[in-house]
Amino acid sequence: MRRLAAGAGAFLHPPGGWRRRFWRSLVLVMVWGVIVTGAVTAYFYFTLPSLEEATRLQRGPTAALLATDGAFIASYGELRGQMTTVAQMPPHLPRAVIAIEDRRFYEHGGIDPWGVARAIFVNVTSGRLRQGASTITQQLARNLLLDNSRSFGRKAREALLAFELERRFAKDQILTLYLNRVYFGGGAYGVDAAARRFFGKPATQVNLWEAALLAGSLKAPSKLAPDRNPEEAAARARLVLNAMVESGFIDRADADQPMAVALSAATALDAPVAGNARYFADWAVDQAEGFMAGLQQDVLVETTLDLALQRLAEKALADGLAGKPAKTPARAWPSQGAIVVMTPEGAVRAMVGGLAYQASQFNRAAQAVRQMGSVYKPFVYLAALEAGMEPDDIVLDAPIAVGTWRPGNYKDRYYGEVTLREALARSLNAAAVRLAEKVGRQKSVAAARRLGVVSALPDGPSVSLGAGAATLLEVTGAYAAFAAGGRFTPPHGIVEVRSRSGDVLYKPTIAATQAIDHAVALRMTNLLAAVVEWGSGRAASVDRDAAGKTGTTQRSRDGWFVGYTADLVVGVWVGNDDDTAVEGLTGSGLPAQIWHDFVAATHDRFAPKPLPGKASYPARPGQAAAPAPRTDAAATLPAAKPFVIYQYPNGDRDGG
């Protein structure tokens, strides 16, 4: 026991030599710790970016797209405005940012210990990461470092750079640098660019509500930009106003006063054109991709987009797809759609590539290659007219077989001997196939190619019923040639690109060709006008002359209506992105109704005009004028003739 007690005493009270060695080792470790820490700190300090270079506002060139009236559509590249100091801004603008981002900005030295402690407490007690502690100075440092990684080295440089910024610059200078560099969403870097982008005014003129919107977007610019998510942006702005009250920057009356303005602002920002015009903008920029890639300066891109028509097109599509009758199952109603509006000369005035650009940037108007169905049939009839036939010439509508392929009419109804006009107006499949086989099916393919349909088309007989696929933009552009008297102009969206000083830098060359003989084009309009007047496209009939064609693909996967008036050519497509069937969908239904609603809404812009070729067309040399087309289907068209009804498993069931 005595030996055990002695051993324990020696352990608890070592002889003097052991104590000296222990403290000497501890001091040595501490000295080396200081040396290593100092060396690491020195390394990070001396590898910091030059403040003179880093604080200089630099960016790449930007392209701002403008509508026909000069209104802003979208920007590409880094959009920056004028350098604006804190002193030049209205006081509520920097205060809004300080209140929501860093209330102790004027008190700390770059890093806020109280903010760090508060963030740790909130995150620990909540069990998840809910609050950050970065100061405005740290955020500026992160911006200058151009590195968002979560490494120890980046965090160390950020802290050192924050201290250096506080040492070198006054607080207002730091805040000025921050507000002129930070990203606000919508391609806008800096507060002046954001104010001009979202509110059409410089940062020196923003009101309290607008300042709160800008400050609120800093948390998540891509999500909370006012033009992207107006409801969440408005909710975040209210938090900013409350934070300003708590910070003593404004009183409660000031915070409550903008609320009425907030509602109207959010409503205005929520206009459909705010986001969906980006479908057009993306497509237009792609048209000048080679030129835009070599930009060395800011440019203004004048486009063909008409914002008023864009809004009407977006509304027509949204209302149409939202109009599902009660108790209609989801499988019997399309989930997506697209609209293209252009002039007969190919200038695209509106483009809706889907219901919501924010949800999906896939452009169903210009990128989706969908089976055409009966919107292809006009190319068959064009080939027949070019072969010398007339709208009143006869074609037999009766069951037909081409090899083992036996296409059938919609609901297996056949009409016997009919004119070309009636065959197209009723969208008779058997007549179209018989006509294509008579004049040569590849002639319809060649006609489609001349009119800008570049997508792959099949070689077999089913091509005459639209078994091939194309984009809505291609088909609408082809129909524009009918409206233009046979003159085909490729669809285009850019008028010119000019510098900020007004110098024209790029003007695309749009080559128009007489792709169809003028007299033949008028005959095509005569045929297509019958579709709208008394044929399958009656639902598209409006208060003016119109011509067009319905289209439905097999198993009702796609519904089309493409048509034109004297002023506009409009294409509509509806369906599902996954190519699933839509029970009961026909081109004569929802697509024709959407087309009608859009064109009817433009009556204030365009007075009714006669459509050349609708009522008559020039006779061939040496012949008398052709008779006027029949217009009263019930009174003048023959009833369906009593053919045997065949059930063909592979038949095209085109309801328009």
* Residue of 623, 612, 440, 605 whose CA lies nearest to 525: 612
Does residue 633 contact residue 535 with C-beta atoms inside 8 Å? yes
Beta strands in 455-544 (DSSP E): 469-470, 487-488, 494-499, 504-506, 513-514
Is 101 annotated as catalytic? yes
How many helices and strands, by DSSP H and E, does the chain display? 25, 19
CA atoms of 437 and 417, how far apart (whole Å): 16
| DSSP at 116 | H
Beta bridge partners of 514: 487
Does residue 606 contact residue 567 with C-beta atoms inside 8 Å? yes
CA atoms of 533 and 437, how far apart (whole Å): 28
- Within a 10 A sphere around the Cβ of 293, how many other Cβ atoms? 7
Does residue 63 contact residue 285 with C-beta atoms inside 8 Å? yes
Q: Which of 374, 427, 444, 464 is catalytic?
A: 374
Q: How far is CA 571 from CA 349, 384, 644, in A?
A: 12, 24, 36
Print burial letters for 493-509: b (CB count within 10 Å at least 16), e (below 16). bbbebbeeeeeeeeeee
Residue linked to tokens 């909130």? 122
Q: Which of 75, 101, 134, 427 is catalytic?
A: 101
- Read off the amino acid at residue 647: Q
Interstrand relation of 370-371 and 469-470 (parallel, antiparallel or unpaired): antiparallel
Is 422 annotated as catalytic? no
User: HSE of 70 in the Cβ direction (CA atoms, 13 Å)?
Assistant: 1
Residues with active-site annotation: 101, 374
